[in-house]
Structures are given as C-alpha cells and as structure tokens.
Amino acid sequence: MTTKIVIGLDGTETGERAIAFAKDMAERIGSCELLVVYVIEWSPFTFQTPEENALRHKRREEELELATARVVNPAVEALKSAGFEARGIVRHGDVAETLNDITVENGGSQIVVGRSSADGFKKRLFGSSTQNLVMHAEVPVTVVN
C-alpha cells in the first residue's frame, strides 16, 4: 500500500520547507505519493454586486489556472524530477477545511504545511489556517518552521 502525504503550499518560502520535510519523510517511508495542494481562500458568503457575480465563475477558473501554473506544477515537476511520485491539486475554499477534505478524499495519512499566519486583528478575528488545521484535521499534521 502506498502512503500518501499531502503538502499544503501557500506560495511562500515556508512551502519550500514543507516540501523538503515531506521529501525526507517519503524517502524514509519508501512507497509514498506526495500530493501537492494549493487552496485559494474563498468564501461562498461574500456579498457582491450582480456584475461581480456574473464574472465570479470566470475569475475563479482563472485563479485555479494561475495557481496551478505558478505554484503547483513547478513543485510537482521538481518532485518527479527528483524521483518522487507526485501530483497536484488546486481548489477554492477554506484552507484548513479543504486541506483536510482533500487528504481524506485521497486516503492521505499525513499533512505537512509551513508555518505562516495572519497578524494582528485578522488573526484574532478569524484565527489562523494552520491553527485551525491542526485542531480539526482527521490525520496528523506536521507544521514546519
């Protein structure tokens, strides 16, 4: 059976450290697939004008394509070039909830993310995605610094 490790990227250098940690884990495990995941923060509860709603689907598709091309595909290609089994997934949604859902849907056994969080008022009001993921994930979460 192949172990699946989900790597949550956010487009920052902490994502590179999460990839490095996951690669090390995969080498130790042996038969392992790395799922590179990027979640575009999106809420269905935003209030928009009728004009904005008309463009919403197109904008979401463009965001998915951009994240795939700029963040996920390069990471997957680098992992494959290094000899790892890897694939990428990009979705919209709440970061913690979506990372957990993707992990469960794909039979993942571990989530690896880099530590990055909101500052000040935003963090107090909404909490950090990493904190929410650690508290609510259905599998172990490793947070790398």
For the chain, what are the domain ranges? 3-110+133-144
Q: Would you give the DSSP letter of residue 44?
A: T
Report, as an integer, the average pLDDT of 109-128. 67
Distance CA 72, CA 66 (A): 9
CATH 3.40.50.620 fits 3-110+133-144, yes or no: yes
Is 85's pLDDT higher than 80? yes
Compute the average pLDDT of residues 90-97: 94
Q: What is the pLDDT of residues 15-63, one digit of tens each?
A: 999 999 999 999 999 999 999 999 998 766 666 777 777 787 788 889 9
User: Model confidence over 123-135: pLDDT tens digits?
Assistant: 444 458 888 999 9
Calculate the average pLDDT of the chain.
88
Q: What's the Cα-to-Cα distance from 133 to each of 56, 74, 104, 117, rounded to whole Å? A: 27, 25, 13, 12
pTM value?
A: 0.86
Predicted confidence at residue 124, as pLDDT, reads: 44
